[in-house]
Chains A and B, each alone.
Chain A
Amino acid sequence: MEQNDNGKLFKLIHLDVPLLLGLLAVSGLGMIVLYSAGQQNMDLVLGQGMRLGLGFVIMLALAQAPPRYFRLWSPWIYLAGIALLLAVMAVGDISKGAQRWLDLGVIRFQPSEVMKLAVPMMMGWFFAEKPLPPRWLHLLGGVLITAIPFVLIAEQPDLGTALVVGSAGAFALFLAGLSWIIMFGITLLLGAAIPLFWTFIMHDYQRQRVLTFLNPESDPLGTGYHIIQSKIAIGSGGIYGRGWLNGTQSHLDFLPEGSTDFIFAAFSEEFGLVGACLLLALYFFIIARSLYMAAGAPDTYTRLLAGSLTLIFFLYAFVNSGMVSGLLPVVGLPLPLFSYGGTSLVTIMAGFGILMSVYSHRRTPTR
């Protein structure tokens, strides 16, 4: 039967059909929205198409590799990532006021992107042979693995990416079975550390973002402008939206970054509550399917890796939609598969490639 043949084909190329469909649905919707949000600029849409295409190719390629290779390479990728982060500190290009890029002559790339994959891999590698739930000593190791890149990236300063990398480690620890009592204690500690973080670690512009988040009207021409215009765009969309190509906020340039970080607002203006909830449901489906695939993984390494990659994806979708709707402060994270541009798209697709590989090789443990 044809259905069966297709099933075999996808198995042969190590792709999970439900997950693939979910990703394609979000990407496709994203291109349609981008056409409108980007002022009907076909170059923008084609560029995004190319980038998505590249992302899917990378996903397909990584899905072919058996997970034991990832495990073998994990510590080296992690160490290389740390070395690159240090290199950026020394010689990085100044881009948008922050030292994030490393110019390799041909391409410029952000080593912090690598860490989004390397931290989950390293956490999995570290706990792979250790009894779970983790011991104190091992817990300390896991915290260090996460904290080193977190501090390096936060220093660049790139709080958004630092948050992603830090959370990836935290999710891995949670999935490793860290006891609730400890988590409660850590939460308390972090709560106590917030004032210190505020005074010593955060940069002025980051503090400003939080202050503006708490009261956007206080700075209607600066950072608050983003949030105010974004809320107007979403709110004026209503239940059914103004319709495709009819959003005035984005078309008249009132919505800043309407095709990149704030595309969710442009989307909600034109497609309303119905469209926005459909998109959130699609994201939820992708995450649920990914977690299911992670749970089916054969051993600790693959489980922790797949689980924490999934939650990175969640973090992007949640933080971006939360920030655009004024629920969270403005953190520069794009809406995955939706926002125009960004190297993070490639990283996210690579993550799904690893996930597909784990699930498709679930009968063969990594050792």
Chain B
Amino acid sequence: MSLEEWLNRPPGMDLLVREKDNTAESELFFRRALVLLGIVLAGFLAVASRLVYLQVLHHERFTTLSENNRVRLQPLPPTRGFIFDRNGVLLADNLTSYHLEVTREQVQDLDATMMELRERIELTDADIERFHKLVRRSPPYAGVPLRFRLTDEEIARLAIDLYRLPGVEIKADLTRHYPLEALGVHILGYVGRIDESELSHIDPGQYSGSTHIGKVGVERFYEDVLRGRTGWQQVETNAEGRPLRILNRTPPVPGQHVYLTVDMRLQAVAEKALDGYNGVVVALDPRNGEVLALASQPTYDPNPFVNGIDFASYRKLNTSKDRPLLNRALRGVYPPGSTIKPLMALAGLEYGVVNRHSGVYCPGFYRLPGSSHRFRDWKRSGHGSVGMDRAIAQSCDVYFYDLAFNLGIDRLHEFLDQFSFGRQTGIDLSGEKSGLLPSQEWKRRMHKHGWFAGDTLSVGIGQGYFLTTPLQLAHATAVISQKGADFKPRVLLATEDPGTRIKTLEPPRQLPPVKVKNAQFWDTIIAGMIHVIEGGTAYRIGIGAKYRIAGKTGTAQVFTLGQREKYNARQLPKHLLDHALFVAFAPADDPRIAVAVIAEHGGGGSKTAAPIARKVMDAWLLNKYDDASIAPGSPPASDDGLHGTE
């Protein structure tokens, strides 16, 4: 018997090769189907006997167990902590707001009650539609909200007649409120209703009974601190689930108050100084990394987001060309432009490709060896013979083309990496972008071809692939001002227990310092930066200053000019104008503030961005604030945090 014959042998049956026989197969199927029907019957009988076991033999036991299932755990959501600025100015608190609740089973005629209510308060069709939708989903004994945010007048009008309207109740709850509205919104963020995607990664126990969660900014980053801990109470219910009495109560722990490093007066100055431009001001205290102001224009009012912003307004914010929802300080990426030049000079000194005295001749353009392509200087006539100090002060491109070419991209990348370019600074706000510090390896991965010398030249003047966030620029400026000492930027100054009012200060977060071979290198580039103000590109903001400023102007191209084209600001539409940049710290000999300014499409850094920085530094160093209204109010009563939202 061959293998094939053996394989074709019907298993367990005769060895005859049979033809297909439909009648026989039909009978075979019928027999098998009968067997299966028997199995089906046996299966259902097994389930039925199991039911007899549970429902007849052990009925008593399970009934007792079911009766004992009368105690329910009810969550008690905590009160969210407040947010203050460094001087105790209130930035976020919880307001008591009132809403109207209707319990279906206590209302005899729902429509008539609606009519009665409509005579007293404003009820939109949307309110009523949402109410009916919720009523269909809720058991009849549950109160269903009908109208939110009742005004005092409406409450008064309702209160008189409430006794005639059984099943209608006014309930209090706490709503997050931002008294300064749009001011500082990009730091504060806001809370909003918990959405589907958040449900999947929050602890359901901690959030049971809570409806809101921090969405962006401090509200999101310090969610765990601000939130507090949910409490519980055991409630005995009757057979229909109605609460009868409270057996046991673990009170909620209210959230901590949070004090920010930000000075809202300075924040107001910074936001106002940007007036008319989309842009950013980041001000740090270089001695400890505290964020003093973090302005991103345009802004928006966070209050409507708390209880769900209406669709039209949201779409307007979201689709606006100015992108007010974007926190440009953390999430805007810009070419650093010439503001990177002091660090380039430092890198040149560190690796010995230049020294303080060596110079180049600048004819207004730079050519790579063996190439005819002209890399242009911003000054077409050229700077002539320039050394390092004048190259920084006058922002000579040719000097830095040459420096970058001699350094090479690898050393450039290695050096700038120490200043947190190309990675997050680690600020305590979520959503920070890394920017891009290009390297040979990166270009191979992303662009599938190698690095050109020309790419290095662009990076050398802060253009090309190089992208930074304003926060990174401010942070790097702070590091320069401290001659290498490096602090992580942060917005949290302290937390405060709402009950005991004991403050816990947040310590500065020191990072490993940036070390150079010779500490005098720092002095060399800082001197260059001082000369930017004193006789250099930003000489205008030095006029009348009561302290010494060290800074650097920058201009970031929005589009690339052709080889023979000329940049003419007057002929360009605004959205193609260059971004204006300026970084600075002051006082130069004892720095107490480091600033980065970007005015989008502001044209030149010296003309637009530098005066903004001056205003901010004046305010901080000379205590010159124009808005007297931002002052610490009376401290909130200490028991505020202990109310639940019952």
Residues of B within 8 A of A273 (CB): 51-52, 55-56
Complex alpha-carbon distance, A303 and B411, angstroms: 76
Q: Which residues of A contact B70 (CB under 8 A)?
A: 252
Q: Which of A135, A238, A252, A284 contacts B40 (CB 8 A)?
A: A284
A232: chain B residues within 8 A (beta carbon):
62, 65-66, 69
- A260 contacts B by Cβ under 8 Å: no
Give bound CA distance, A131 to B28, whole Å.
Answer: 12
Chain B residues whose CB sits within 8 angstroms of the CB of A280 once the complex forms: 44, 47-48
Known interface pairs A179-B12, A235-B54; A300-B37 also in contact (CB < 8 Å)? no
Bound together, the chains give a CA A299 to CA B25 distance in angstroms of 9
Q: CB of B139 within 8 A of chain A?
A: yes
Contacts of B54 in A (CB 8 A): 231, 234-235, 325-326
Q: Kindly identify which residue among A174, A177, A179, A318 contacts B25, using a CB–CB cutoff of 8 Å.
A: A177
Query: What CA separation (Å) do A272 and B63 show in the bound complex?
Result: 12
Contact indicator per residue, chain A 230-254, by CB within 8 Å of chain B (1) or not (0): 0111111111000000001101101
Chain A: which residue is nearest B72 at the CB level? A252
State whether the Cβ of B118 lies closer than 8 Å to any Cβ in chain A: no
In the complex, what's the smallest C-beta–C-beta distance from B555 to chain A, in angstroms?
Answer: 44
A349: Cβ under 8 A from any B Cβ:
no
What 1/0 mask marks residues of chain A from 155 to 176 whose CB sits below 8 Å from any chain B CB? Answer: 0000000000000000100110
Bound-state CA distance A171–B13 (Å) is: 20
Stretch at the interface among B162-170, B172-180, B237-245: B237-245
Q: Which residue of chain A has its CB nearest to the CB of B37?
A: A291
Complex Cα–Cα for A275 and B52 (A): 12
Q: Are A288 and B59 in contact (CB under 8 A)?
A: no
- A251 & B50 in contact (Cβ 8 Å cutoff): no
| B 3-20 to A, binary, CB cutoff 8 A, 1 in contact else 0 | 000111111110000111
| Total count of chain A residues near the partner, CB < 8 A | 66
> Do B37 and A136 touch (CB < 8 A)?
no
Chain B contacts for A132, CB-based, 8 A: 20, 25, 28
Q: Residue A193 at the B interface, CB < 8 A?
A: no
The complex places the Cα of A333 from the Cα of B355 at a distance, in Å, of 77
Additional A-B contact list (19), CB under 8 Å, known A134-B11, A307-B33 = A135-B8, A135-B11, A136-B7, A137-B7, A182-B12, A232-B66, A233-B66, A235-B66, A236-B63, A237-B55, A238-B59, A249-B66, A280-B47, A283-B44, A284-B40, A299-B22, A325-B54, A326-B50, A327-B46
Please give me the 9 A-B residue pairs with the lowest Cβ-Cβ distance, nearest first.
Answer: A235-B62, A179-B12, A236-B66, A42-B136, A235-B54, A137-B7, A273-B55, A41-B137, A236-B62
On B, residues with C-beta under 8 Å from A are 6-13, 18-22, 25-26, 28-30, 32-33, 36-37, 40-41, 43-44, 46-48, 50-52, 54-56, 58-59, 61-63, 65-66, 69-70, 72, 133, 136-140, 237, 239-241
30 contacts between A and B (CB under 8 A): A41-B136, A43-B133, A134-B11, A135-B8, A175-B32, A177-B25, A181-B12, A182-B12, A232-B65, A232-B66, A234-B51, A234-B54, A235-B59, A235-B62, A236-B65, A238-B56, A249-B66, A249-B69, A252-B70, A252-B237, A273-B52, A280-B44, A284-B44, A295-B30, A300-B22, A311-B36, A318-B40, A321-B44, A322-B47, A325-B47
